Amino acid sequence: MAKELEGFNFEQRHGKARVRVGRVWRSKDGCRHFMVEWNVNISLLSNCVAAYVRDDNSDIVATDTMKNTVYVKAKECSEQLSAEEFAILLGKHFTSFYPQVFTAIVKIVEKPWERISVNGQPHEHGFKLGSEKHTTEAIVQKSGVLQLTSGVEGLSLLKTTQSGFEGFIRDKYTALPETRERMLATEVTASWRFSDISSVKLKMPNIHFLPVNISSKDHGSIVKFDDDVYLPTDEPHGSIEASLSRFWSKM
């Protein structure tokens, strides 16, 4: 990944981002359809210093070629497969097909298309967009070593009670009252890594629902609020990130 240039390290990667592909598979009788929509992001790490130093592109995989490869490989997958399997398949292709490429990083975000039900029956070919997205990342080395991560993003959750926050540090910058009862909301981004090592990573911002309290010097509050009216707000938000891993890991 690195090439020393007169006492400097030079690192680079190039790729194609936001390659969107839809793939439809049909049951044998052609009636029942299965479909996925993937947003694919490819980064290749390769020996291509010549392109930077000598204006020589002979070791460069054009990003347009990477895009085409996504479509060709999607076509070749005659059986339905998971985003994880497709990411690995692409990663293995790039590292084995091109001598110059030593690492391929393939990320996929899957749009949550869900089969529609009509009168309690699943529809043959109708789909509706759901909410949270499934994500995956495959890092494939030329040696065949593989690091696979799966995850979810955009999962918004909320509970209206049974959350408190007490006993925290109080100092001259502290204005927040302690509470045994508050609204708790978050948008989960989570990922978990497979292989010999395994780890879990969580990002759960604290999306605040502030209890509303109106005061007027002129007329006083008209209504005494007791925490059933809230101001939901996106910014600022609390941020909490944590990871748990065997032996070693980086956050």
Q: Does 182 show up as a binding residue in the annotation?
A: yes
Q: Which of the stretches 54-62, 84-92, 133-141, 145-153 binds a copy of itself when contact is defined by CB under 8 A?
A: 54-62
Q: How far is the CB of 137 from a copy of itself (least distance, A)?
A: 15
Indicate whether 53 belongs to the interface with a copy of itself (CB under 8 A): no
Distance CA 165, CA 167 (A): 7
Distance CA 87, CA 108 (A): 7
Dihedrals φ, ψ of 84, to 5°? -60, -45
Distance CA 106, CA 66 (A): 11
**Near a copy of itself by CB under 8 A: residue from 19, 87, 88, 139:** 19
Distance CA 194, CA 248 (A): 14
Q: Which of the stretches 82-90, 133-141, 144-152, 206-214 binds a copy of itself when contact is defined by CB under 8 A?
A: 206-214
Q: Which two tokens stand for residue 13?
A: 């990667």
Name the E strands within 142-212. 146-159, 184-193, 199-203, 209-211
The yes-or-no answer on residue 3 being catalytic is no
Q: How far is the CB of 146 from a copy of itself (least distance, A)?
A: 20
Binding-residue pattern over the window 124 to 163 for a copy of itself, x denoting contact by CB under 8 A: -xxxxxxx-----------------------xxxxxxxx-
Binding-residue pattern over the window 221 to 240 for a copy of itself, x denoting contact by CB under 8 A: -xx-x--xxxxxxxxxxxxx
Q: Does 64 show up as a binding residue in the annotation?
A: yes
Amino acid letter, 41: N
The yes-or-no answer on residue 125 being catalytic is no
Number of neighbours of residue 37 by Cβ within 10 angstroms:
15
The yes-or-no answer on residue 63 being catalytic is yes
Q: What residues are annotated to the active site?
A: 16, 63, 208
Q: Which residues are annotated as a binding site?
A: 63-64, 165, 182, 206
